[in-house]
Structure 1
Amino acid sequence: MARARSKADLPSKTCVTCGRPFTWRKKWERVWDEVKYCSKRCAGRR
């Protein structure tokens, strides 16, 4: 079984709305290239 990645090794992006950095999440695995916002709240404020 493969070892899990540490949080420091995960890719990250900067939120378009608030400018805060956010890291990769399992639920974004297939759409990571399309993710622009760190949360639903920021997506609604765009």
Structure 2
Amino acid sequence: MRKPTLAFKGNKQALPSKPCAVCQRPMTWRKRWARDWADVKYCSEACRKAKPDHG
């Protein structure tokens, strides 16, 4: 009997995505972001640090 792997084996095209607020690259949904997907704005720590200041 085979042990299940943790890698995603489904259709990644079906996952939701949205653009990064800084670099505008598409961010694909990650399981790690499942609880916070509505609040995810930046694709990386570098983009989070480079966020524009509004004030």
TM-score surpassing 0.5? yes
* Percent of aligned pairs with the same amino acid: 51
RMSD of aligned Cα (Å): 1.1
Q: Which has the larger radius of gyration?
A: 2
Q: Which residue of 1 aligns with 2:50?
A: 45
* Aligned residue pair count: 43
**Unaligned runs of at least 5 residues, structure 1:** none
**Between Structure 1 and Structure 2, which shows a larger proportion of helix residues?**
1
TM-score of the two chains, using structure 1 as the length reference: 0.84
Higher relative CO (CA 8 A, sep ≥ 6), structure 1 or 2?
A: 1
